[in-house]
Amino acid sequence: MSEKNKTLVSGIFLIVMGILIAIFGGQAVLDVYFGIVSLVAGLCLVAMGIYAMSKKQPLPAPTLTLGCVLLAVGVTLFTDFLSVGVLINFLVVVILGAGAGILTYGVYLLVKKQTVPGLMNLVLGIVAIVVSVLYIAVPDFRSVFWIIVGVLIAVYGLVEFIYAIKQSK
């Protein structure tokens, strides 16, 4: 699959996930989403670790360990063993960190003279950071949090989708 096709598929997936999160609230959709992502990523990492061991490559243990941890997280998400409250608090911290990463990537793109994607990443990163801090600091804000997160994910997917289409022309 070409890079353009991967970006198109990723964009469409993010748009759909963002809309589902905004409409249904985050908990149920994110449990399923992260359960699937954890299982798939865990299986891929375990396979990569086994492949590295078979080729006598160094350090397959971190890959295998992370893969097994992700498999365990995926299973616990599907069995409702993991508390939703704990998961949500963890996800808010992840969104805060992702916002910082997106913000940093936006600065990098601006330095590389890619203005439009750079500005879009800056805006999304700042919004993710602000929304996460508000979730942590203002309890009343939590009722609209997942709508904002869903819209942000959908917008990011739309930008990714449009960018992939523009690159092909």
φ/ψ of residue 55, rounded to 5: -95, 10
* Token representation of residue 154: 């959908």
Query: Is 168 a member of any domain?
Result: no
At residue 134, does pLDDT exceed 70?
Answer: yes
Domain membership of residue 118 (yes or no) is yes
Helix (H, G, I), strand (E, B) or coil at 30: helix
* Domain total of the chain: 1
The pLDDT assigned to 130 comes to 92
| Residue 169 domain flag | no
Asked, for residue 62, whether it belongs to a domain, the answer is: yes
Residue 147 inside a domain? The answer is yes
Residue 88 lies in a domain: yes
Q: Which of 21-25, 42-46, 62-66, 160-164 has the lowest mean pLDDT?
A: 21-25
Q: Report pLDDT digits (tens) over 76-117.
A: 877 777 755 677 787 788 888 888 988 998 899 899 888 888
Q: Work out the mean pLDDT of the chain and round it to a whole number.
A: 79
- Residue type at 131? V
For residue 35, being part of any structural domain is answered with yes
Range of the domain at 40: 3-163
| Residue 56: inside a domain | yes
Whose CA is closest to 88, among 115, 44, 110, 96? 96
CA angle 159, 165, 166 (to 5 degrees): 85
> Can you give the pTM of this predicted structure?
0.50
